Chains A and B, each alone.
Chain A
Amino acid sequence: MIANILDGLVFGLQLGLLATGLTLVYGLGGILNMAYGQIAVIAALVVAFSIEAGVPLLLAIVIGLLAGGLVGLILDQTILRPVYRLHEEPRVLLSLLLTLGLSFVIEGFLIWQFPLDALSIRIPGGTIDILGVPMRTGSLLASGITLVTFAALFLFFRYTSLGMAVRSVIENEEGARLVGVRPNQMLRLILFLSGVLAGLVAVTRSMVTPVDTHAGLSITVFALIVTVVGGLGSVAGAFLAGIILGIINVVAADFIGSYISLIMLLVAAALTILIRPAGLLGVPE
């Protein structure tokens, strides 16, 4: 059971980080980015090809994360342009449709060009015992990186003036504008950050299991489920929901079967909407 919970924590931290990139963009700009998983895959492939080309691992990872961020910026400057002219529900729907279309295009292209490529970062060192459970060093390192990232995000949003400005737009966009915050600048920043986070998820995930060309859709679906449970626009909610769902996922897979685990997550998301529509830490309307 302890082993299950630890495995769930490892997976849950990744789910949380995964959802963070999606939930921030939604909370800030009312944009549901269905191409999120494909951004992660692009970043993963960039890292894989950089390593193949002889670039040192750390530098390759940095290049991959920047590539993810760059895709976010490109979205901001291209297909999201018409979305920015709309507000409320039409805005969410148009962003969903356009990015969904884009996700098909990117995935089709990647599968056509790189059908067998995948990112798999092997962390040497076998296993380390945690509470008597042998954990793979790859899992531990991935979790460590994720925790550090969450801590950095927390400090950024809590204590920097830029981070507070981003939160102010999530809290009340008109209020933010009245104090001189430029919402479109904040959105651009967060789309970049979201791309970097997508890349980071791909990198940490690849320390546990290979991230291949087809992984995009499942990454987006997981991110969506965690976002719904955690509450739109809430980083703390994404963190909490990620951990809870990670543990549910692993426990369900172990006791019932891995075929049921995704269904369990969807059930958890559906129950959340029924009981607490705004999510664990979301703002009720």
Chain B
Amino acid sequence: MLEVKNLSAGYSGNNVVHDASFNIEAGEVVMIIGSNGAGKTTLFKAVSGLLSASKGQVHFDGRDISQLPAEEVSRLGMSFVPAERHLFPRMTVRENLVLGAYPHRPDADTLASVLALFPRLEERLTQHAGTMSGGEQQMLAVGRALMSKPRLLVLDEPSTGLAPLLAQAAYEALRVLQQQGMTILVAEQQVPLAMSISDRGYVLENGLISLQGTTKELAANPGIRSAYLGVS
């Protein structure tokens, strides 16, 4: 579904990510793990079109999207939830969700399934997004991304700024989506969380993909265990 080949990207000519290659097939959950500053956000921004890649290709359903801006990538069926969430703070929860479906009219069934996934949002439909707690904003960001019925959901650090219990709840929601058959690509530095839902993963270190494998293989890797899982 998504194939990234030799992608390099960065800011003002300085590449942060070098030669990254990875792929994700329909129905899979794939994680990109790495510590803070490894380049996960840069990589995802380049994939989603918020940042233009300096080198390499991104194929989404066979189509090269590496030069497309984010608004066109979104219209092709890839929904990106950035770590900063980028909600519309002075608009209501309902308006945020309705805009998620843009340029199409919001679909009642999709809205119902988003509200079933995040019942909290239903209680807050008329509240401004900016006045909600971090956990609720995270739910809204995911909910907004789902409103366009994406074929690929890309999340950058969904646990950012959340207390441990809320971060777990966020991953519970992703697990439900996975069971519904959603294809999910997630970047995470809290590796155990990402491992709890992923089929496969890639390790990003200093802008380079250093390791890849199934979640089981990665969880058994001594280097990963000491660096990311706190096991020595």
Interface of A toward B, CB cutoff 8 Å: 161, 164-165, 167-168, 171-172, 174-183, 283
Hey, which chain A residues are within 8 Å of B48, CB to CB? 178
Hey, which chain B residues are within 8 Å of A165, CB to CB? 99, 102-103
Q: What distance in Å separates the Cβ of A3 from its nearest Cβ neighbour in chain B?
A: 37
Say whether B80 contacts A178, CB under 8 Å. yes
Say whether A177 contacts B99, CB under 8 Å. no
Which of B50, B71, B90, B147 meets A183, CB within 8 Å? B71
Q: Is B105 an interface residue (CB 8 A)?
A: yes
Interface size on B, residues (CB 8 A): 32
Hey, which chain A residues are within 8 Å of B195, CB to CB? none
Specify the main secondary structure of chain A where it touches its partner. Answer: helix
Question: Given known contacts A161-B102, A164-B91, A165-B102, is B86 in contact with A172 (CB within 8 Å)?
Answer: yes
Hey, which chain B residues are within 8 Å of A177, CB to CB? 49-50, 69-71, 74
Q: Is B216 an interface residue (CB 8 A)?
A: no
Hey, which chain A residues are within 8 Å of B87, CB to CB? 172, 175
Interface of B toward A, CB cutoff 8 Å: 48-50, 69-72, 74-75, 79-80, 82, 84-91, 95, 98-103, 105, 144-145, 147-148
Say whether B71 contacts A182, CB under 8 Å. yes
Hey, which chain B residues are within 8 Å of A174, CB to CB? 50, 70, 82, 84, 86
Q: What distance in Å separates the Cβ of B101 from its nearest Cβ neighbour in chain A?
A: 8
Say whether B86 contacts A175, CB under 8 Å. yes
Q: CB-nearest residue of chain B relative to A173?
A: B86
Q: CB-nearest residue of chain A relative to B103?
A: A180
Most chain B CB inside 10 Å of its own CB: which residue of A164, A168, A171, A179: A179
Sample of 13 further A-B pairs with CB below 8 A, known A168-B99, A171-B88, A179-B99 = A164-B99, A164-B102, A174-B70, A177-B69, A177-B71, A178-B82, A178-B86, A179-B74, A179-B101, A179-B144, A180-B72, A180-B74, A181-B71
Which of B70, B89, B148 meets A172, CB within 8 Å? B89
Hey, which chain B residues are within 8 Å of A180, CB to CB? 71-72, 74-75, 102-103, 148
Question: Given known contacts A175-B86, A181-B99, is B50 in contact with A168 (CB within 8 Å)?
Answer: no
Tell me the complex Cα distance, A168–B103, Å: 12
